[in-house]
Structure 1
Amino acid sequence: MSCVLTNYTSMTTTPIPCNPINGSANLFTGQVQYTDYGYEPNHAATYAFLAIFASGFAAHVLLGVWQRCWWTLPTLAVGTAVEVIGWGGRLWSIVSWRWDPNQGGLWSSNHNGFIVQIVCLVIGPTFFSAANYILLGSPSYVSLHSQSFSLLFICADLTCLVVQAVGGGIAGTANNEEGANQGGYIMTGGVILQLIVTVIYLILFGEWVYRRHTDLPSKRQYNPFSFTSRFARKKHAPSNIEDSNNHMMSPMTNGSQETHATTKPEDGLIAPPPFRSEFQISEKRIQIMCALIAMGTLLIIIRSVYRSIELLRGWSGPVATDEPLFIGMDALLMCLFVWLYAAVHPYIAFGRRLF
């Protein structure tokens, strides 16, 4: 048997002694060596989380279609599907796990499976953030104008998604560790940007809760899309009263059939005042949605902090090669998010919506 040591920087090979003994210490490092992960992915955890996220995906698709809450499909359902693909990548790594006698002997797996799980598990929660941004709707109590609230945060979310995807593409096509780390740093930029956007959203959400509780609407609201909205009104002015009503309704409140009394008329979870009798929802359900948004946002922030630290330290850093930490700070948190939003589905606040 002939073995070689490959230098991926210069793409040259050097003949070296082979290590045909499975699982033995590497001839050069004196320790058991792994490629990509830095450890062997836990089989039981991989199968368990794959099943949990797959069932969560099915739950969100069924709930979204059954309750006709269509906006949850491209957010909650798609985000969960991306998580499923990511865990499928880890499963791919497990089934391709083998002992490589080259380079002193090390455990290796299909590199594509590693890239799939990294990219998908990093960008998946971006879709969950979008669900939170849409869920709050168009609040009139905060300093940001209601016409710009969801649009601004969703645009920022899409930017984060693109940056992370570009970084993942660079990391996946890199021929050496330096190139892979460069892609990782770009992904880190996307994760940090998402973290900043989420924190800003949380601040505005806190302002909304406070002002709504004290009944103190913001006296001045900033609308960064004011020119766009004026242009849209000129181009697409409602042709009759019915169209005007539909134009004014928040996409998050359209079609709600609740008729319970509420304590606050101006609300991101409630339609504009002229339509309150038809579209208002109960105060209890608003409180449930507030708790859901707060909990979901907190989970995303904790996970984003962990991912930022992980990617900044590199693929072979101590954080990235710690599987229990990954399971606790990413897998469990996102699993909790998926099933929390399935158990307390946004439908309970917005009722059955046709479109």
Structure 2
Amino acid sequence: MAGQIPIIPFGPHATCTLELCPIEYSIFRYRPSLAANITFVVLNVIFALTHLVLGLRLKNWWFSGAMVAGCVSNIIGYAARVFLWQNPFSFIGFLLQIIFVGSAPVYYTAAIYVTMTRTVENLDVSLSRIKPKLYYVIFIVCDTGALVLQAIGGAVSTVSSGANAAGVNLALSGLIFQVATMLAFVGLLIDYLIRYFRDRPVASVATRLKLFLASLSLAILLILARCAYRVAELSEGYNGVLFHDELLFIGLEGVLIALAVVALGIGHPGLVFKDGQANLTKAYSPVSVPGGAESGVELVGK
């Protein structure tokens, strides 16, 4: 009919609304859960405030700053999904979710990489396969490159409503590169821990140090699992089954990252390393080393 507004389901010039189009016309083909996304917004506000307080009290600025930045990124991303509940056809809402939810884990891994440097410097540099500073130099650069690929690919594919295969493939390449980077880091982390505990009875290592190392390891594995899910999701494109399954997104994106943030709160380096520097104070825990000598790890607190 003359004068009738053409129906454009998705993109910068989308005209669809819930009144005009069925939900199946939207990019997700579902209406995002209001309860779940508000929950993630609230949780990330709590996480951000918690890490801000820890940063102020423990003066571990880099770690806490990265954690707060990741939480803020998630707050914006999940707030965009709340807006998508109101209007599932919103191009801006979808773009904000892709950018901010997608980039949040990079801040957390950056915090982990820098913490790994501090850990190696404090425990035993000789056990590391690479120089301590290379943990954050190499892996943060790689993660940043992976994020740039994802951002460019996401922008290209969303503008074309997912029709541009090049955009999807570029974003997928970024995710695969991110997973490969994390696998390399996990390999180095496992190797270091094996070498560290090989000549030290676990019982001789301070409980706080063991909790810290366990929390750090758990967090990186949770983030790796999340990234592996995103690779599987995007490998099918925007028309795949995984992309349209909100329960999987909630569980393997939202829940896994939330658990990783909790783990990094429990294993906050400021609770172990004084002022984030390469020295530890107070409670001394001796460990046996070859040759009958003793060395130890001094921990904050008792």
Q: Please tell me the TM-score bracket, short chain as reference.
A: 0.7 to 0.9
Q: How does 1:32-51 map to 2 (within 5 A)?
A: 33-51=24-42
Q: 1:37–1:114: 8 Å Cα contact kept in structure 2?
A: no
Equivalent position of 2:185 in the other structure: 201
TM-score of the aligned structures, taking structure 1 as reference length = 0.67
Deviation at 1:131, TM superposition (A): 1.4
- Offset from partner CA, 1:14-40 (integer Å, 9 cap, x none): xxxxx999599x6xxxxx624121101
- Give the paired residue count: 265
Equivalent position of 1:114 in the other structure: 94
Distance, in Å, in 2 between the alignment partners of 1:168 and 1:184 is 7
Distance, in Å, in 2 between the alignment partners of 1:58 and 1:171 is 35
Deviation at 1:61, TM superposition (A): 1.6
Q: 1:353 to 1:183 in 2, by over 3 A?
A: same
Q: 1:283 to 1:39 in 2, by over 3 A?
A: same
Amino acid at match of 2:108: F
1:72 aligns with 2:63: yes
Q: How does 1:177-326 map to 2 (within 5 A)?
A: 177-179=162-164, 181-215=165-199, 283-326=206-249
Distance, in Å, in 2 between the alignment partners of 1:156 and 1:178 is 28
Distance, in Å, in 1 between the alignment partners of 2:266 and 2:40 is 18
Equivalent position of 2:250 in the other structure: 327
Deviation at 1:116, TM superposition (A): 0.8
Deviation at 1:3, TM superposition (A): 5.5
- Aligned residue for 2:272, secondary structure, equals helix
Q: 2:10–2:91: 8 Å Cα contact kept in structure 1?
A: no
- Offset from partner CA, 1:92-148 (integer Å, 9 cap, x none): 2123x2xxxxxxxxxx43111011112211221011111111111163212223342
Deviation at 1:58, TM superposition (A): 1.6
- Offset from partner CA, 1:68-112 (integer Å, 9 cap, x none): 1101234211111111111011012123x2xxxxxxxxxx43111
1:163 aligns with 2:86: no
Q: 1:57 to 1:284 in 2, by over 3 A?
A: same
Q: 1:353 to 1:329 in 2, by over 3 A?
A: closer
Q: 1:168–1:187: 8 Å Cα contact kept in structure 2?
A: yes
1:148 aligns with 2:123: no
Q: 1:184 to 1:85 in 2, by over 3 A?
A: farther
Distance, in Å, in 2 between the alignment partners of 1:146 and 1:66 is 26
Coordinate RMSD, CA, aligned: 3.0
1:132 aligns with 2:112: yes
1:123 aligns with 2:107: no
Gaps of 5+ in 1: 12-18, 27-31, 98-107, 217-261, 264-281
- Between 1:200-209 and 1:71-80, the stretch displaced more is 71-80
Q: 1:69–1:353: 8 Å Cα contact kept in structure 2?
A: yes
Distance, in Å, in 2 between the alignment partners of 1:7 and 1:170 is 17
Q: 1:122–1:307: 8 Å Cα contact kept in structure 2?
A: no
Distance, in Å, in 2 between the alignment partners of 1:20 and 1:126 is 34
Q: 1:160–1:191: 8 Å Cα contact kept in structure 2?
A: yes
- Answer with 1 or 2: which has the greater Rg: 1
Equivalent position of 2:261 in the other structure: 338
Amino acid at match of 2:105: P
- Aligned residue for 1:309, secondary structure, equals helix
- Aligned residue for 2:82, secondary structure, equals helix
Distance, in Å, in 1 between the alignment partners of 2:29 and 2:102 is 18
- Offset from partner CA, 1:235-277 (integer Å, 9 cap, x none): xxxxxxxxxxxxxxxxxxxxxxxxxxx97xxxxxxxxxxxxxx
Amino acid at match of 2:40: F
Deviation at 1:354, TM superposition (A): 8.4
Instruction: Name the structure where helix makes up a greater proportion of residues.
Output: 2
- Aligned residue for 1:91, secondary structure, equals helix
TM-score of the aligned structures, taking structure 2 as reference length = 0.78
Q: 1:310–1:320: 8 Å Cα contact kept in structure 2?
A: yes
Equivalent position of 2:270 in the other structure: 347
Amino acid at match of 1:90: R
Distance, in Å, in 1 between the alignment partners of 2:207 and 2:231 is 36
